Amino acid sequence: MSRKLNQSNQTRREFIKSGTIAAASALAGFSIVRSAYGQNTDPIRLGLVGCGGRGTGAAEDCLSAAPNVHLVALADLFQENIDKSRKTLTDPNRKEGPLKGVEVKDDRCFVGFDAYKKLLATDIDLVILATPPGFRPIHFEAAVNAGKHVFTEKPVAVDPVGIRKFMAAGKLAEQKGLCVVAGTQRRHDPGYQELIKRVQDGQIGEVIAARCFWNMGGLWKREHQPGWSDMEWQIRNWLYFCWLSGDHIVEQHVHNIDVINWTLGAHPVKALGVGGRQVRTEPVYGNIFDHFAIDFEYANGIHLLSMCRQWEGADSLVAEFIAGSAGTGQTDGGRYILKGSKPWRYAGEKVNPYVQEHADLLASIRKGTPVNESQNVATSTMTAIMGRQACYTGKEISWDELMASDMDLSPAKYEFGPLPVRPVPKPGQPA
């Protein structure tokens, strides 16, 4: 599936700087959390779609980010998730103290596959989308059509059809003046912002290559329980089914890939990789891989080595590294460092980026200066999908071919019942 790339006399430095304006616009107006309190404090009514751990955490972060935010509606496929979320958010014994703004009444709790539609029909101003990623394009499109500001968790799709749907809805949100912030919280971290600005300004010279990693142990899993249909089990165990999570390269490693795309102001044009299912082979792990390693190539010849795995007992590394002609940059373990002819280490104030992303969103809503991160997060999600498909197929995959693909992993119907598990991909063999 490869295509010959158009060659250019543009230097790597010029290639990176061509994306600096777009990157700078994404940073404009972002600052530490306390700055949000200086804006007007008009009430903002918040709804949450997806009441699992991440959704509940995002709601807590949003309520903590600025005053006069009111959580008034919840939606989930399962009533037990709503009950657990309400209990967590109203716990008077929270370490940080009681959380203000949780005002969800029973008649504003919606359950089922159409729960998001009922929530969007209420008078909320802002919605958090935190269901498994396979549902994200549908929910995002509906939220934009309903005229709601959106915080969307990453990733934002699991296949090219979903990416195109999400991107189109993101452009419509821009036309409507709606704010869209994504859960790529590194873009709201001042350490990352300062390091990337310095790299784009040439402090390590001409960027020549990059590496990024998310190597860690395992995560939770849920065995199939009596009484659960295939659909219910897969959704409850969603990490391990590609139609729901996109695989862990898309669901998790997208963070690191996004940092490199942000730094370069561009996405790769092709990918070649290896991956497989070496350790997690039991049926509870669905049909995803447990390791990936990809060589991404950008338009002007810059290569990115991308690696991610989820193996218990193996060494962990979650980091990004950028190699330049006059030095290197790295971000790992909360450190932001440049080495070389102009060494630098970030020593500024640290913020909680999970709260900061909501503070920036709320401030943009209240100032009437919409921020829209839809295209950035969609592009990085698509980059991860391209890497996944290169590994699944054992073939070189080009951006243009995949973007035009009719690949759609969604089920024929969203209802509880039978849903066969797709086989684990075998590189080099037909799907």
Contact 381, 250 (CB under 8 A): yes
Q: Report whether pLDDT(247) > 50.
A: yes
User: What gap in Å lies between CA 313 and CA 216, rounded to an integer?
Assistant: 9
Report, at the CATH architecture level, how domain 23-186 is classified: 3-Layer(aba) Sandwich (3.40)
pLDDT value at residue 175: 98
pLDDT, the chain, mean: 92
Of residues 376 and 98, the one with the higher pLDDT is 376
Alpha helices in 152-311 (DSSP H): 160-176, 190-200, 230-236, 242-245, 248-251, 254-264
What is the tens place of the pLDDT at every residue in 48-105? 999 999 999 999 999 999 999 999 999 999 999 999 999 999 999 988 888 999 999 9
Helix (H, G, I), strand (E, B) or coil at 376: helix
Asked if residues 392 and 425 have their Cβ atoms less than 8 Å apart, the reply is yes
In percent, how much of the chain has pLDDT > 70? 91
What distance in Å separates the CA atoms of residue 95 and residue 54, rounded to the nearest whole number? 18
pLDDT at 95: 87
To 5 degrees, how large is the angle CA 202–CA 207–CA 209?
A: 160
Mean predicted confidence (pLDDT) in 116-127: 98
Please state, in angstroms and as integers, the Cα–Cα distance from residue 73 to each residue in 110, 115, 147, following that order.
8, 11, 16
- Of the candidates 309, 296, 315, 318, the one whose C-alpha atom is nearest the C-alpha of residue 247 is 309
Residue 134 to residue 250: CA distance in whole angstroms: 11
Tens of pLDDT, residue by residue over 392-415, are 999 999 999 999 999 999 999 999
Can you tell me the mean pLDDT for 9-23? 41
Tell me the whole-structure pTM to 2 decimals: 0.92
What pLDDT, on a 0 to 100 scale, did the predictor assign at position 39? 53
The rounded distance, in Å, linking the Cα atoms of 431 and 393 is 8
Pairing of strands 317-324, 303-310: unpaired
CA angle 95, 100, 105 (to 5 degrees): 120
Q: What is the mean pLDDT of residues 29-53?
A: 72
Percent of the chain with pLDDT over 90: 88
Q: How confident is the model at residue 19 (pLDDT cuts 50, 70, 90)?
A: very low
Torsion of CA 74, 75, 76, 82, to 10 degrees: 20
- Summarised one tens digit per residue, pLDDT across range 212-243 is 999 999 999 999 999 999 999 999 999 999 99
At CA 17, angle to CA 15 and CA 23, rounded to 5?
115
The DSSP bridge partners found for residue 272 are 295
CB of 136 closer than 8 Å to CB of 157: yes
pLDDT at 23 over 70: no
Give the domain ranges of the chain: 23-186
Is 90 exceeded by the pLDDT of residue 364?
A: yes
Residue 272's SS3 state is strand
Query: Is pLDDT at 9 greater than 70 in this prediction?
Result: no
Mean pLDDT confidence for 109-134:
98
**pLDDT at position 4 over 50:** no
What's the average model confidence in pLDDT over 277-288?
97
- CA distances 95 to 33, 89, 351, Å, are 20, 12, 18
- What is the pLDDT confidence band of residue 41, given thresholds at 50, 70 and 90? confident
The whole-number average pLDDT for the span 136-149 is: 98
